[in-house]
């Protein structure tokens, strides 16, 4: 997705060989126009799969997930990381090791929002080692619902998450795929041009 790549090149800050900061448009300040395009792109890529719900995890997955839900005209659920006074009983829960914070969070969703009749699309902002996505998959499995796939805004293809999920047969669509953050530079996966027929 060119608009996203351009934004990453212009505004992304490489914090280390494994962490990219995109606080100016995705993780703190949000660019609504870009989110709208991201939502449209996910909606196109997962069209015709009978998706009934979108599931993400707070907080940075919410913006792209809501815009996708808007395009698909379906509800969006975000798993909560903190215990809430209003979210106590009948929970689907999973443990997730946070890549950026190096802590384990129990994420939870009220079980009334996902049923076995649902087909769920999982959305998140980044894919690193796949822990957040695996936690969300675990929650959908607990509800005995189906999973249509995983939509990721920025995949760091040099980390293990993408391989882990695809090896399980999961459909993973990422809108930008980064192959390296070495030497302070963002390198993207290049899409091979189709061979010209003679
Ligand atoms: P995973 O669970 O796949 O290891 O990591 C994904 C989660 O960690 C995402 O939800 C995202 O919030 C955070 N994350 C992973 N890598 C990065 C990164 O390079 N930059 C930012 N801003 N967040 C990241």
**3-class SS letters over 95-135:** EEECCCCCCEEEEEEEHHHCCCCCEEEEEEEEECCCHHHHH
Residue 133 · residue 166 · CB < 8 Å: no
pLDDT value of residue 198: 44
Q: Does residue 108 register a pLDDT over 50? A: yes
Residue nearest atom 19 in ligand 1 by C-alpha distance: 19
Residue 194 lies in a domain: no
The CB density around residue 162, as the number of other CB atoms within 10 Å, is 23
Q: Is residue 68 part of a domain?
A: yes
% of the chain surpassing 90 pLDDT: 87
Confidence of residue 99 (pLDDT cuts 50, 70, 90): confident
* 197 part of a folded domain: no
SS (H, E, C) 57-75: ECCCCHHHHHHHHHHHCCC
pLDDT of residue 196: 56
CATH (domain of 38):
3.40.50.2020
> Please, where are the H alpha helices in 73-196?
131-142, 161-167
Backbone angles phi, psi at 21, to 5 degrees: -100, 125
pLDDT beyond 80 at 191: no
Task: Confirm whether 139 is domain-assigned.
Answer: yes
CA 189 – ligand 1 centroid, Å = 18
Q: Is 148 helix (H, G, I), strand (E, B) or coil?
A: strand
Q: Provide the pLDDT for residue 101.
A: 84
pLDDT exceeds 80 at position 85:
no
pLDDT above 90 for 23: yes
Average pLDDT, the chain: 94
| Residue 124 bridge partners (DSSP) | 152
**According to the model, what pLDDT value does residue 67 have?**
98
CA of 194 to the centre of ligand 1 (A): 32
In a domain, 67, yes or no: yes
Whether residue 27 has its Cβ less than 6 Å from ligand 1 = yes
Interatomic CA distance for residues 33 and 37, integer angstroms: 6
Q: Does ligand 1 lie within 6 Å of residue 131's CB atom?
A: yes
In the DSSP assignment, the letter for residue 183 is G
In a domain, 24, yes or no: yes
Q: How confident is the model at residue 163 (pLDDT cuts 50, 70, 90)?
A: very high
Which tokens go with 112?
Answer: 């009334």
Residue 194, pLDDT above cutoff 70: no
* Helical segments of the chain, H only: 2-11, 32-45, 62-72, 131-142, 161-167
Q: How far apart are CA 167 and CA 50, in angstroms?
A: 23
Q: What is the mean pLDDT of residues 142-152?
A: 98
Contact call for residues 97 and 104 (beta carbons, < 8 A): yes
Q: What is the pLDDT of residue 102?
A: 83
> What is the total count of domains within the chain?
1
**125 within some domain:** yes
Residue 181 Cα: closest atom of ligand 1: 19
DSSP assigned state of 87: B
Residue 198 inside a domain? The answer is: no
Q: Rounded distance, CA 43 to CA 36, Å?
A: 10
Cβ contacts of 64 within 8 Å, gap of 6 or more: 26, 35, 38, 39, 42, 56, 123, 125, 151, 153
Range scoring the smallest mean pLDDT among 8-22, 65-79, 147-161, 179-193: 179-193
Domain membership of residue 40 as a residue range = 2-186
> Which of 35-44, 52-61, 120-129, 189-198 has the lowest average pLDDT?
189-198
Mean pLDDT of the 165-178 span: 98
């Amino acid at each position: 997705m060119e608009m996203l790549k351009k934004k990453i090149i212009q505004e992304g800050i490489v914090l280390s060989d494994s962490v990219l900061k995109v606080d100016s448009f995705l993780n703190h300040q949000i660019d609504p126009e870009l989110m709208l395009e991201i939502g449209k792109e996910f909606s196109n890529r997962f069209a015709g799969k009978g998706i009934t719900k979108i599931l993400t995890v707070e907080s940075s997955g919410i913006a792209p997930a809501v815009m996708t839900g808007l395009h698909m005209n379906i509800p969006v659920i975000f798993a909560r990381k903190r215990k809430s006074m209003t979210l106590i009983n009948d929970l689907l829960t999973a443990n997730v090791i946070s890549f950026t914070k190096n802590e384990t969070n129990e994420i939870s969703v009220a079980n009334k929002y996902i049923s076995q009749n649902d087909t769920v699309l999982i959305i998140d902002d980044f894919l690193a080692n796949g822990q957040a996505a695996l936690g969300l998959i675990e929650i959908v499995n607990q509800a005995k619902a189906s999973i249509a796939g995983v939509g990721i805004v920025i995949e760091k293809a040099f980390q293990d998450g993408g391989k882990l999920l695809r090896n399980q047969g999961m459909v993973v669509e990422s809108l930008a795929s980064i192959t390296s953050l070495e030497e302070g530079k963002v390198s993207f996966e290049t899409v091979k041009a189709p061979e010209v027929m003679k």
